[in-house]
Amino acid sequence: MDEFGLDEFTRAVEATLFASANPLSLDEIADYAGEGEVAEALARLAEHYAGHGIELVERGGRWHFQTAPDLAHLLRRTREEPRRLSRAATETLAIIAYHEPVSRAEIEAIRGVQISKGTLDVLMDAGWVRPAGRREGPGRPLLYATTAEFLSHFGLGSRRDLPGIDDLKAAGLLDPIDEGSFQLQLESEGEED
């Protein structure tokens, strides 16, 4: 049928169903499409659209077009965009990893800087940090710890594989750092992506 185009009446039924805001009964279709065998036109259309990205379906005597069910996932698409972790988030993650379980106040005490709410959200969004209960004591502060995903992302078998203070010292990572130049370096790395 396709190769020869659709007949006029089938075209009219197709357009009617497409433009309608609601599924239509045979009678309603006939109201729009005019003279013709609605049921036959629907059968032709259903056959025609088989294997397409859309299909003609009947629900309770009413007809409408819908996206093919196997393609429904396209309608809500998730796209991942690579983003480099900020310095604040990286430091916070490191503190959690070395000191877990650790409260927000403790993280701030170690960093010497307050952390914004967004920082922990980012780390949890990344799947690297999880809430780990509350510490019994004044204020019952929420505690944070790293996840299994954290270990696998950073290629660590366990938290014991984190380099110790001595290792960091040997690698020159504990030398007093010129904060300014370190920041510049991090920022320029950030521009790469």
Partner 1 sequence: MEAETFELGVRDEAELTLSIDGWEGPLDLLLSLARVQKVDLAAISILELVEQYLAYISEARALKLEIAADYLVMAAWLAYLKSCLLLPKDPEADPSAEEIALRLQMRLQRLDAMREAGARLIGRDRIGRDVFVRGAPEGLRLVRKSAWQARPFDLFAAYGSVKARSTPPLHVVHPRSVMTLEEALERVGRMLGTRLDWTLLEAFLPLTEDPQFRRSALASSFVAALELARLGRVDIAQDEPFGPLMVKTS
- The residues in 152-171 that bind partner 1, with binding defined as CB under 8 A, are 152-156, 162-165, 168, 171
* By CB under 8 A, residue 35 contacts partner 1: no
CA geometry: angle at 171 spanning 149 and 161, to 5°?
A: 30
| End-to-end C-alpha distance for the chain, whole angstroms | 52
- The residues in 56-115 that bind its own copies, with binding defined as CB under 8 A, are 65, 67-68, 71, 74-75, 77, 79
Selected from 48, 99, 111, 135, the binder of its own copies by CB under 8 A is 48
Separation between Cα atoms, residue 103 and residue 144, nearest integer Å: 6
Nearer to its own copies, 38 or 120 (CB): 38
Q: Which stretch binds partner 1 (CB under 8 A): 1-9, 36-44, 134-142, 174-182?
A: 174-182
Cis peptide before 141 (omega within 30 of 0): no
Selected from 6, 46, 85, 145, the binder of partner 1 by CB under 8 A is 85
* By CB under 8 A, residue 8 contacts partner 1: no
**Contact letters for its own copies, residues 17-36 (x by CB under 8 A):** -xx-----------xxxx--
* By CB under 8 A, residue 52 contacts its own copies: yes
Environment class of 141 (CB within 10 Å of its CB; exposed 0-12, middle 13-18, buried 19+): middle
Q: How many CA atoms lie within 13 A of 4 on its CB side?
A: 5
Shortest distance in whole angstroms from residue 143 CB to partner 1: 17
* By CB under 8 A, residue 53 contacts its own copies: yes
Q: Which stretch binds its own copies (CB under 8 A): 7-15, 149-157, 163-171, 183-191?
A: 7-15
- The residues in 53-72 that bind partner 1, with binding defined as CB under 8 A, are 64-69, 72
- Which CA distances in Å does 17 have to 27, 30, 38, 57, 112? 12, 11, 12, 11, 65
Environment class of 192 (CB within 10 Å of its CB; exposed 0-12, middle 13-18, buried 19+): exposed
Name the nearest CA neighbour of 107 among 122, 125, 124, 89. Answer: 89
Q: Which residues of this chain interact with its own copies, rule CB under 8 A? A: 2-3, 5-6, 10-16, 18-19, 31-34, 48, 50-54, 65, 67-68, 71, 74-75, 77, 79
